[in-house]
Amino acid sequence: MPQLDLLPDALLSTTRAVRKRLDLTRPVEPEVLRECLELAVQAPTGRNRQRWDFIVVTDAEQRRALAEVYWRGPELPQPMLTAHLPGANFTRARRGEHITDKTFEGLNALIEHLDKVPALVIPCIHGRTEGASILEQANTWGSILPAVWSFMLAARSRGLGTCWTTLSPYCEHEVAQLLGIPHHEIMQAALIPVAYTLGTNFRPGPRVSLEQVVHWNRW
């Protein structure tokens, strides 16, 4: 499929969390999703165990059912709060020092229209981390995060927008029941909305200076 003309540095610095600029009217072709997933599973993984699975939800009725799980899902911890829409309850983020008005509005829009997003991808990993040691947690998350980021980079290069959300883990039991996931052995890492973007001109995001976050030789 055609790809955007992005050099590696531009791809890495402009793959943003896209919430409001998703084209909810344009389908995402299965072959494009497959291309992105083929690249995702080339990511490094601990001991080459490849413990990942990806659930791709594109059916309209299934997307609606999945969205309804989140709309009526359990109340989220701070800084999340519950808001209401006619016929559905869905979560809204509370503004704080760590979240901008723009992010707040984008998250609201995404959750409200989640059922209209053409594709919803849930990356999963074999093994659960409840009560696990820091080492076990690092091994588990380190075996799924690179693959998901590769998927998001591949999507960006094809004109698609994505966003890492933790909606699925918040409602993990309900999502597992809906999608037939064996909850006792498979952990849902995220919910990734996928859609073509409205325009492809994304810029690097605001970040603190390296002097504030980089430590040479010691803290």
Task: Decide the pairing of beta strands 119-126 and 52-57.
Answer: antiparallel
How do residues 57-86 score in pLDDT, each as one tens digit? 999 999 999 999 988 866 544 444 434 333
* ∠ CA 120-125-126, rounded to 5°: 140
Tell me how crowded residue 184 is: count the other CB atoms within 10 A of its CB: 8
What is the block-wise mean pLDDT of the chain (219 residues), using blocks of 10 residues? 92 97 98 98 95 98 95 57 40 48 82 96 96 96 97 98 91 95 97 98 93 96
Mean pLDDT of the chain: 89
What does the pLDDT read at residue 157? 98
What does the pLDDT read at residue 94? 40
What does the pLDDT read at residue 107? 84
As a whole number of angstroms, the distance between CA 20 and CA 202 comes to 13
